[in-house]
Structure 1
Amino acid sequence: MQKSDKVTHKHTNALINETSPYLLQHAHNPVNWEAWRPEVLERAVKEDKPLLISIGYASCHWCHVMEKECFENDSVAQLMNDNFINIKIDREERPDVDQIYMDAITMMSGNGGWPLNIVALPDGRPFWGATYLPKDNWTKSLNQLIELYKNDKSRIVSYATDLANGINAINLVENKSYSGVFTLEQLDEAVANWSRHFDNFLGGHKRAPKFMMPNNWEFLMNYASMNDKPELMEQVEVTLNRIAFGGVFDQVGGGFSRYSVDTKWHVPHFEKMLYDNGPLTSLYAKAYALTGNDLYKDIVQKTIGFVQEELMDENGGFYSSLDADSLDENGALEEGAYYVWTKEQLTELLGADFELFKDYYNINSYGLWEHGNYVLIRDKEDLEIAEKHNLTVSELREKIDNTRAILKGERNKRSKPRLDDKILTSWNGLMLSGLVDAYRYLGQDEYLELALKNAQFLETAMVKEDYSLYRNHKDGKSDIDAFLEDYAILSEAFLGLYEVTFDEKWLDHAKKLMEYAKVHFYDENSGMFFYTSDSDKSLIRRSIETIDKEISSSNSIMAKNLLKFHKLFPEEGFGDIAEQMLRNVQDEFLQSGQGYTNWLNLVLFENQNFYEIAVVGENYKQLGKEISHSYIPNSILVGSAKDGPVDLLKNRYAEGETFVYVCIEGACKLPVQEADAAIALIK
């Protein structure tokens, strides 16, 4: 492989031996890139050369721009090769390294982003950082750093030492065993503070860019439905409707882009990430269960259709992302080229249906992006458009479906965005949960089949015999030790899969992953979980992740898992750990609620009834399926034909009958025999 590459490429560096598509994109740069490996770091110490660490990911637009301007330039490469040990990192493979250096650049400059470029001492302590820089600025900065390192190294070491201390200090979590758990009254105040930032007309928050943040709206949906807050449920629905109508949702091919650059969810940053599409599938499936809104069902179906078509490997795993950039009609890489349309193209393709399509998707000043290109966006309900064009709603939908099919066929002729085909455990866990929720609330068997295929792949390729995990899979090979998010998310997904199948294998897998994490990631001093295992080679910090971002924090997911496992295994101390974790972070909730929304679910569950629902008897699967169609976030569902693996299922079997037991902390109400009766005991 390497030999033939040398024949066809002027340059080949050590990244040619990696599997990450992002790293392989840089394998023919003249820069002597290395991957993040212990032996490379040891060589930096031995040669007393500073590290130049450049972090990005395959679908990052500005990463490609900087590569073209700087890393493909021979003179820039010479400067880098002569003076630094150059390390390229795929942040999706190594989020542990990315977290630390993102904190560093935020401390140095006040903001961060990708590409993330860090210069550090040979031992990894950073002393300079920048995001995208054009060639002249990049070389000027590097020359200044080279001069400083040669002539005033003590000053650099002093600064790097102080910065490393700061990086460690901002990540400390105090063990607050003395405080009580956040109350519902405090939660009301936290949500009131947060709600001042809501965009009541366009949904989301009053700002641009707008990120979808599924954990925000799932919590608000839970809070509104459990506490009769119709005004908050209205905000959730406005947001979900506007996102579904917007350009951030691919109106032609399904699936979600990264975020919207404007306030109306219109023009997306066009990259499509698995880690957005999994949680948004869950969110819309749950919203459908709660509201019965067919729009949400449609979004779930189209999102899964996109993931199946574009991101699914034949072995059942899911790839990571599609790039924002693709080749335009002139052969130049351009962001969004695959997704946008000119009025002339649409007129020619759609013929007599163009006028209808134009009204439906705003081929006007509202839907115009730039350079005569339109990003499809809706702003009217089907009924209004149908009446204007003297159609029934079903006739309208049939015509619009036909126009979308025409555009999809035309789009398939275009150059596709580049695919990042690595398979990550945590991101697959998010999509697995999305499929489980889609099956649970939409009832389509194909979604369970997809979920089981994915789960079986993860079980075979990512879970080792001792229940440690791999992070990454590519080209038939699994590697990189997994991080806390992989354990937390996969455990949550397996537990969800158990709830819709009652197959004890998935419950057992979920529990063993939790137990492995408790042994290898738990920190007795803080009462939290480290992001990296005690068996991993140490970095300059062992991070503790608590803030809920696009993906909920690994500690908040762990805490929710622990609470649920406490309900099933009350003697094992899981609940005490979850409650302590909540105490440790709750001081942030009043003023920063939207950054802790997955934790706020835990506040609801700790302060209000949490139901254990046990189904026992010959008809347990059918009855369990009927119960699971109702959205009850403050519950866990178990079932068996006779006895099962948890106390809730023991000594409850009656021959010839199937009973449902609704319990709180193991204390159960009188059993019932119908799903509606069981749900009535809860609602």
Structure 2
Amino acid sequence: MSKSQKHTNSLIHETSPYLLQHAHNPVDWCAWSTETLERAEKEDKLLLVSIGYAACHWCHVMEHECFEDEDVARVMNQHFINIKIDREERPDIDHIYMDALQMMTGSGGWPLNVVTLPDGRPFWGATYVKKEQWIKVLEQLSQLYKKDKARVLEYADQLTQGLRSINLIPSPEKDEPIDLEELKSAVKNWSQYFDTFLGGYRRAPKFMMPVNLDFLLHYGKLTGDSEIEDYVHTTLRRMAYGGVYDHIGGGFSRYAVDVKWHVPHFEKMLYDNAQLISLYAKAYAATGETLYKNVVEESIAFVCRELRSPGGGFYSSLDADSLDTKGVLKEGAFYVWKEEELRELLKGDFPLFADYYNINDYGLWEEDLYVLIRDASREEVANKHGLTKEMLDQRIHACKEILLAKRESRSRPRLDDKILTSWNALMVKALVEASRYLDNDTYLNMAMETTEFMERSIVSEDGSLYHNHKEGKSTIAGFLEDYALLIDGYIHLYEVTFTEHWIHRARELTDHCLDHFLNPAGDLFFFTSDKEAVTVRRSVETADNVIPASNSVMATNLYRLSLLFPDRNYDETASRMLRTMRESILENPNSHAHWMHLPLYNSYSFREVVITGESANDYRKSLQHHYLPNTLFAGAVQKGSLSLLRDRIQKDKTLVYICEAGACKLPVSSPEEALVQLQAGG
């Protein structure tokens, strides 16, 4: 035990920053493991499972009030075996107990606290609980188990049956694909909730939901629905103008607590920023809007400056809280400004900056603190101050440089420096898409570095993946989300390089999923591999949320891979998955947006763009600047093994073939001619 610490528990041996934060609590915490459950059963002791994550504000509050308190620890240690879980490390356990909490209480959140039988079956749950109430309820639960175990066992058994039943997807009434009219009807019903003035939904808090916006951008492009397109771009613009976007350092916070995207919950997550980089890059390709390009560049700069590891991987998150000027831990202290501080730093440029970022009643947060928010366009501010847009941009950029330098001297938010496969895969895809749509090879090189880091660090000897990595250690077997998102990243990497290694890696990982994750019915994938021990149930993740569901990503992966490997029957599995999910998708499109790309693939012409010859990469770059969501690119300069390339490579010619379902039109010899074909009929 460290001389400076009164207590040390077994979490000291973990690598997760969230678990290590609790390593010196007086609570005798354990990490989740088979050994811990076996010990609980042997001692017939209840489990107290507490789940949170490093950037969770209320997790820190409950730790300070309860888990650092010796009176609380006495009760917990006497009556329970206490398990602390980082939800980002163990989403499999989090899924089960979050479902249990929602069944018991009707709501969820973190910290997520459940009391379970020694075998892990839950029977009580809550989120944040104050000290006095926490002690009282734990003593009551302990006594109940001792005096009326049969009642506890009966309730736990009923709850377990419920947890298993909600994991089952009912058979659809229609065993057929979703057609375009059904899809349009679902989007129309969904759109009733859209805030067409401020973007997002008509409520607070407001989450960015890049999964939903990505689908709606795709949908608007193909259907020509101008109202949907306007809604998407209103949302993207308002988010980029809002305080939820870090105007000084780049990148997005997790969500806004108000309807105008002004005051964020200040934690910054890798998965949000990765997906938003992808989304804004596509939106830039679709519109040429400079604002979108700036968001992409500034957000990548943020991620690289504050979340990139020396080895090329990306860390998970930054906390919302940091020390203010008085040394008090406060949410947002790193990011907010006082007017007098801005006046002192910016001097003669302050009036311009104040107009641009609303250092006024509109931008005031609380006390005398401002969160920067834009409301007027560049043109409006430039005209008001008698400037050209270029002059305005130069002066605002200079102000931001001054403030960024000042901010770097402040006490920094805590960093969660674990590296997660799934979130890094999202970042690989983000860098690939930024490279593609902004024509920046630096981003592609970074994507390659991250992918090579992952190949070294999270791939085991048998070719399977790990979920986590830190300080040279990878300890948790990969979940379906890790495979699905990395396969997606590999497909995109192949499309912008034509390096076949990446598409073959995608195929290998897909085959592994088919062997070890697909359920016996063959219609959906389990979240955990058949090689792993299961508590309560093997979950099936189907709802798209802040990250797309692992099953919806697998379905789109299988569709795209079937075009490159037609002999593998991947399309049959993808079609079966979509038919299984049809009612869930149509009844609740808000929670199944990523799934809905597939009906768009099926309803409009989906083209394979095959480019061969000595200038293949130049032609590819020329075409890939455009937003062409219903396409898959393949190609080679001299040789390629994919069936789409067979007999299509000529020595001294560069040719572009536009194909559908493997049947190709006569080749054209310029990107311009190919683009005409691609933009005709969807």
- TM-score using structure 1 length: 0.98
Query: Is 1:598 aligned to residue 599 of structure 2?
Result: no
The correspondence for 2:557, drawn from 539, 561, 572, is 561
1:273/1:322 contact within 8 Å kept = yes
Query: Is 1:358 aligned to residue 317 of structure 2?
Result: no
Give, as a single letter, the amino acid of the residue that structure 1 aligns with 2:516: H
Counterpart-to-counterpart distance in 2, 1:188 and 1:416: 47
Counterparts of 1:413-424 in structure 2, within 5 Å, are 413-424=409-420
User: Identity rate of aligned residues, in percent?
Assistant: 54
- Structure 2 partner of 1:343: 339
Give the direction of change, closer, same or farther, for the CA distance of 1:580–1:176 in structure 2 (3 Å limit).
farther
1:642/1:649 contact within 8 Å kept = no
Counterpart-to-counterpart distance in 2, 1:609 and 1:643: 27
Give, as a single letter, the amino acid of the residue that structure 2 aligns with 1:317: G
Counterparts of 1:269-668 in structure 2, within 5 Å, are 269-525=265-521, 527-668=523-664
Measured after TM superposition, the shift of residue 60 of structure 1 is: 0.4
Query: Is 1:127 aligned to residue 123 of structure 2?
Result: yes
Counterparts of 1:220-239 in structure 2, within 5 Å, are 220-239=216-235
Measured after TM superposition, the shift of residue 143 of structure 1 is: 1.3
Secondary structure in 2 matching 1:89 = strand
Secondary structure in 1 matching 2:85 = strand
Query: Is 1:56 aligned to residue 40 of structure 2?
Result: no
- Structure 2 partner of 1:210: 206
1:175/1:526 contact within 8 Å kept = no
Counterpart-to-counterpart distance in 2, 1:301 and 1:486: 26
Secondary structure in 2 matching 1:173 = coil
**Between 300-309 and 598-607, the greater mean CA deviation after superposition:** 598-607
2:278/2:429 contact within 8 Å kept = yes
Secondary structure in 2 matching 1:597 = coil
Measured after TM superposition, the shift of residue 345 of structure 1 is: 1.2
Counterpart-to-counterpart distance in 1, 2:371 and 2:143: 49
Measured after TM superposition, the shift of residue 354 of structure 1 is: 1.0
Counterparts of 1:22-61 in structure 2, within 5 Å, are 22-61=18-57
1:369/1:375 contact within 8 Å kept = yes
Measured after TM superposition, the shift of residue 590 of structure 1 is: 2.9
Measured after TM superposition, the shift of residue 117 of structure 1 is: 0.3
Counterpart-to-counterpart distance in 1, 2:397 and 2:526: 48
Give, as a single letter, the amino acid of the residue that structure 2 aligns with 1:431: M
Measured after TM superposition, the shift of residue 524 of structure 1 is: 2.5
CA RMSD of aligned residues (A): 1.0
Measured after TM superposition, the shift of residue 314 of structure 1 is: 0.7
Secondary structure in 2 matching 1:615 = strand
Query: Is 1:143 aligned to residue 139 of structure 2?
Result: yes
1:426/1:486 contact within 8 Å kept = yes
- Structure 2 partner of 1:71: 67
1:177/1:583 contact within 8 Å kept = no
- Structure 2 partner of 1:196: 192
Counterpart-to-counterpart distance in 2, 1:584 and 1:254: 40
Give, as a single letter, the amino acid of the residue that structure 1 aligns with 2:273: N
Secondary structure in 2 matching 1:51 = strand
**Between 465-474 and 111-120, the greater mean CA deviation after superposition:** 465-474
Counterpart-to-counterpart distance in 2, 1:657 and 1:44: 70
**Between 672-681 and 257-266, the greater mean CA deviation after superposition:** 672-681
Per-residue CA deviations over 1:518-561 (Å, capped at 9, x if unaligned) read 10000122610000000001111100000000000000000000
Per-residue CA deviations over 1:232-273 (Å, capped at 9, x if unaligned) read 111110000000000111010001100000001110000000
Counterpart-to-counterpart distance in 1, 2:220 and 2:553: 21
- Structure 2 partner of 1:672: 668
Give, as a single letter, the amino acid of the residue that structure 1 aligns with 2:630: N
Query: Is 1:86 aligned to residue 75 of structure 2?
Result: no
Give, as a single letter, the amino acid of the residue that structure 1 aligns with 2:270: L
Measured after TM superposition, the shift of residue 8 of structure 1 is: 1.7
Measured after TM superposition, the shift of residue 346 of structure 1 is: 1.1
Secondary structure in 1 matching 2:594 = helix
- Structure 2 partner of 1:170: 166
Query: Is 1:106 aligned to residue 102 of structure 2?
Result: yes
Measured after TM superposition, the shift of residue 212 of structure 1 is: 0.3
Counterpart-to-counterpart distance in 2, 1:672 and 1:430: 34
1:53/1:89 contact within 8 Å kept = yes
Unaligned runs of 5+ in 1: none
Counterpart-to-counterpart distance in 2, 1:603 and 1:369: 43
Give, as a single letter, the amino acid of the residue that structure 1 aligns with 2:13: N
Give the direction of change, closer, same or farther, for the CA distance of 1:463–1:177 in structure 2 (3 Å limit).
farther
2:268/2:317 contact within 8 Å kept = yes
Give the direction of change, closer, same or farther, for the CA distance of 1:681–1:177 in structure 2 (3 Å limit).
farther
Give, as a single letter, the amino acid of the residue that structure 2 aligns with 1:119: V
1:247/1:268 contact within 8 Å kept = yes
Counterpart-to-counterpart distance in 1, 2:25 and 2:88: 21
